[in-house]
Amino acid sequence: MGIKEQPKLPQFRIVANILLAVSGLFLLLNLFLPGLFASGPTGVPYSLFIHQVQEGEVSRVSVGQNQIIYQLKAENAEPAQVFATTPIFDLELPKLLEEKGVEFAATPPPKNTWFTTLLSWVIPPLIFIGIWQFFIARGGGGGGPQGALSIGKSKAKVYVEGESAKITFADVAGVEEAKTELVEIVDFLKTPARFTQIGARIPKGVLLVGPPGTGKTLLAKAVAGEAGVPFFSISGSEFVELFVGVGSSRVRDLFEQAKKQAPCIIFIDELDAIGKSRSSNGFYGGNDEREQTLNQLLTEMDGFAAGDATVIVLAATNRPEVLDPALLRPGRFDRQVLVDRPDLSDREAILKIHAQKVKLGDDVNLKAIATRTPGFAGADLANLVNEAALLAARNLREKVAQEDFAEAIERVVAGLEKKSRVMNETEKKIVAYHEVGHAMVGALTTGNGRVEKISIIPRGMAALGYTLQLPTEDRFLMNETELRGQIATLLGGRSAEEVVFNSITTGASNDLQRATDLAERMVTAYGMSKVLGPLAYQQGQQAAFLGNGGANPRRAVSEDTSKAIDSEVKEIVETAHEQALEILRQNRDLLEAIATQLLETEVIEGEKLHDLLSQVKPVANS
């Protein structure tokens, strides 16, 4: 499908008309005011004028505000010469002229003639009309009265079947449940009689909900491609303007265009830009433009008559909790379709689709790549394939190899390598023990993925080294023991610094932040505290978004409860810290051996790393 574009008015016509008008104006001025372009009297310095007055050569003077014009005395029957000079502030000039017997007077102020008065009334409106028509031609894309009102016209892009390659469900993978829900929409658009003859009513609106990058927009285009109907695509932010009423006008225009081309699909991306709850503080400064736009959208969706039933509204958002309840009620958005992050099999299917566009080597195992990319959305996987292809081209390979995908995963997860960042020997040694501490504690505690790589090569913005852990399977639930194991792993780097150097550095700041956040969620959201019990002290998602900010704001609790929460969080973190210290002290020799080897090679990975970590000895009650 392609986008329809209206032809634009050639700009040279406007320029030619302006030049013609200016030329005609000059001709008229030269005809009616010939003296306007005539040459004036010869200009001379003011000092020469004073000298001629003192010598008695001047007969009469006309003193003006910006110019002095004077006439010399006639000699030998020759015509008197007229000169002009620029005046200066000279209070002695009238006295000097009177002493020398010079006839002088002040120049009267200029009077407007009938022609200049006419020009003053005609020229400004003509200029205004010319500028107005220029903007009409630009805004309307072809002139006419519609251009003047184009600010209220819909900016939706219209995709029509047959103008370019269309997108179908075959181009979308990893969202099989969502595609099953949308197949019914496609069937209705193709054969509406099959549904209407038994009294069934197709949903007027379908809301696609999911994290960014999961393919909501792609799914909407696939629905239009499968159904073979026009597809109006617009972002929610394109409705909102500075002037009140523009957004609602664009909503009306969009639905009018859609009804003319029914059956069709209207797709509104980022619906939360105009659909925020009216009871929240989402509208600021008393400007109700966004609220009027939402009200018009509610009216249009609720006002479909029987003949308009083949206009279906698809919308996408990643923040459904902030949408107005009136927008989500049956009769408007009747159905919500979850477009979630793909699981292992879905990630492999997505990789197969994107891998068709690149040349793969024989050693590429897409299932292994899908296993190493938990939590990746469809957009992340597309970027991963592209990064791997770029790496292969940079290394002058004709096909993409498995090692290119491995490096691309590390780039996406940890950032680019920064070998130019040179650390001194002391810092390098601290980083090595820090990363080995993470790996050893992570290898012995539950709830962590398998340690695949340790590196002391700086990556990303501030990472001086990193430990790469990859899960062996998709997990959706975690128990308290596994969460405590994750906290202990996060504190393993700081604990290794304490065991080896008997001091700590700033390198564990991010680890401490993540460990504290996880412990606080255990207490306030997951109810994993024997002291506080199975209560939720964390605000819900909607309150968190509309509240005082922050990722996990607490509810309003008493001072004693707040102290108890802080005490429980501290106990969880300190217990995990002691667990990490015990593991590293019990395996001090292995810690030294792995760190020494890491300082020599800078990277340890694969089976070699697995063999080393298999030697970690558990401690009692660890």
127 phi and psi angles, rounded to 5 deg? -60, -45
**pLDDT higher than 70, residue 6:** no
pLDDT band at 547 (very low <50, low <70, confident <90, very high): very low
DSSP tag of 306? G
Centre a 10 Å sphere on the Cβ of residue 339 and count the other Cβ atoms it contains: 27
Kindly give, in sequence order, each residue whose CB lies less than 8 Å from that of residue 138, ignoring residues fewer than 6 positions away: 9, 147
**pLDDT higher than 80, residue 57:** yes
**pLDDT higher than 50, residue 3:** no
Interval 588-607: pLDDT, tens = 999 999 999 999 998 898 88
pLDDT band at 143 (very low <50, low <70, confident <90, very high): very low
**pLDDT higher than 80, residue 383:** yes
pLDDT of res. 8:
45
- The more confident residue out of 546 and 350 is 350
Query: Considering only 54-63, 494-503, 518-527, 549-558, which range has the smallest mean pLDDT?
Result: 549-558
pLDDT band at 153 (very low <50, low <70, confident <90, very high): low
Query: Considering only 17-26, 102-111, 206-215, 429-438, which range has the smallest mean pLDDT?
Result: 17-26
pLDDT of res. 112:
57
CA atoms of 327 and 470, how far apart (whole Å): 41
- Which of 163-167, 450-454, 482-486 has the highest average model confidence (pLDDT)? 482-486
Give the containing element (helix H, strand E) for 177: helix 176-190
pLDDT band at 490 (very low <50, low <70, confident <90, very high): very high
- The more confident residue out of 242 and 315 is 315
Interval 191-234: pLDDT, tens = 878 888 888 877 788 899 988 888 888 888 888 888 888 888 88
Residue with structure tokens 């009077």?
A: 111
Mean pLDDT of 458-475: 77
pLDDT band at 452 (very low <50, low <70, confident <90, very high): confident
pLDDT of res. 523:
92
Mean pLDDT of 76-96: 78
Mean pLDDT of 51-71: 83
**pLDDT higher than 90, residue 568:** yes
Centre a 10 Å sphere on the Cβ of residue 166 and count the other Cβ atoms it contains: 19
Both tokens of 291, joined, read 């609220």
> What's the CA angle centered on 57, arms 51 and 59, to 5 degrees?
120
Residue 483 CB-half CA count within 13 A? 22
pLDDT of res. 141:
42
Which has the closest alpha carbon to 511: 497, 495, 486, 491?
Answer: 491
Give the containing element (helix H, strand E) for 319: none
Give the containing element (helix H, strand E) for 211: none
Average pLDDT over all residues of the chain: 79
pLDDT of res. 306:
44
CA atoms of 67 and 563, how far apart (whole Å): 87
Query: Considering only 1-5, 116-120, 346-350, 586-590, which range has the smallest mean pLDDT?
Result: 1-5
DSSP tag of 8? P
Query: Which domains, from first to last, does the chain contain?
Result: 2-33+113-152 (no CATH), 42-106 (3.30.720.210), 157-280+289-338 (3.40.50.300), 344-414 (1.10.8.60), 425-613 (1.20.58.760)
Interval 368-381: pLDDT, tens = 899 888 888 888 99
pLDDT band at 431 (very low <50, low <70, confident <90, very high): very high
DSSP characters for 40-57?
-PEE--HHHHHHHHHTT-
pLDDT of res. 71:
84
Mean pLDDT of 103-120: 68
Long-range contacts of 274-278 (CB under 8 A, 24+ apart): 274/236, 274/237, 274/239, 274/240, 274/247, 275/236, 275/315, 275/317, 275/323, 275/324, 275/327, 276/322, 276/323, 276/324, 277/322, 277/323, 277/324, 277/325, 278/324
Both tokens of 600, joined, read 């020599």
259 phi and psi angles, rounded to 5 deg? -65, -30
Positions marked active-site: 435
Both tokens of 339, joined, read 């477009």
Mean pLDDT of 574-580: 94
Which has the closest alpha carbon to 523: 481, 558, 580, 480?
Answer: 480
SS3 229: coil
Are 276 and 317 spatial neighbours (Cβ–Cβ below 8 Å)? Answer: no
pLDDT band at 522 (very low <50, low <70, confident <90, very high): very high
CA atoms of 606 and 610, how far apart (whole Å): 6
pLDDT band at 448 (very low <50, low <70, confident <90, very high): confident
Which has the closest alpha carbon to 328: 276, 293, 291, 283?
Answer: 276
- Which of 3-12, 328-337, 348-357, 408-417 has the highest average model confidence (pLDDT)? 348-357
Query: Considering only 37-41, 434-438, 569-573, which range has the smallest mean pLDDT?
Result: 37-41
Strands (E), 300-396: 311-317, 335-338
- Tell me how far CA of residue 337 lies from CA of 209, 267, 309, 320, 358, in angstroms: 6, 14, 20, 11, 32
Which has the closest alpha carbon to 1: 158, 157, 161, 156?
Answer: 161
Query: Considering only 44-48, 361-365, 552-556, which range has the smallest mean pLDDT?
Result: 552-556
Are 142 and 9 spatial neighbours (Cβ–Cβ below 8 Å)? Answer: yes
Mean pLDDT of 167-184: 84
Rg (CA), the chain: 40
The sheet with strand 231-235 has its strands ordered as 2-3, 157-160, 231-235, 264-269, 311-317, 205-209, 335-338
Name the packing angle between helices 480-490 and 559-586 (round to 10°): 70
- The more confident residue out of 115 and 74 is 74
Query: Considering only 7-21, 81-95, 310-324, which range has the smallest mean pLDDT?
Result: 7-21
Query: Considering only 199-213, 229-243, 541-555, 563-577, which range has the smallest mean pLDDT?
Result: 541-555
